[in-house]
């Protein structure tokens, strides 16, 4: 059980390291450890970082705002210059 941020900060990098091992190279022991660490981290996150429920239209609106901001910053969606 992860009980504080310090433990979380030690466990998360190990989980991330295991998560990028290709399926054909990960050992059964590593795979089981990855499953365990994932469960521990998910449990800690659920207990300490609860995400409030939101209505579907609020989620869509937020995603559209974020995408619009990203497009404005990158220039995406702007008409091409005609030369």
Kindly report each contact of residues 39-43 with a partner whose C-beta sits within 8 Å and lies 24 or more positions away, as own/partner: 40/1, 40/2, 40/11, 41/2, 41/8, 41/11, 41/12, 41/15, 43/1, 43/2
Whole-number pLDDT of residue 53: 82
Whole-number pLDDT of residue 75: 53
Whole-number pLDDT of residue 36: 97
Helices within 1-83 (DSSP H only): 5-19, 28-48, 56-74
Give the global pTM: 0.60
- Stretches where the chain sits below pLDDT 50 are 73-74
Domains of the chain by residue range: 5-74
Q: Say if CB 40 and CB 2 are below 8 A apart.
A: yes
């Amino acid at each position: 059980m992860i009980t504080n941020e310090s433990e979380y900060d030690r466990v998360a990098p190990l989980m991330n390291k295991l998560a990028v091992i290709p399926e054909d190279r990960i050992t059964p022991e590593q795979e089981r450890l990855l499953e365990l660490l994932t469960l521990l981290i998910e449990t800690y996150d659920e207990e300490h970082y609860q995400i409030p429920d939101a209505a579907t239209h609020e989620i869509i609106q937020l995603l559209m705002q974020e995408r619009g901001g990203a497009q404005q910053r990158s220039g995406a969606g702007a008409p091409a210059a005609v030369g």
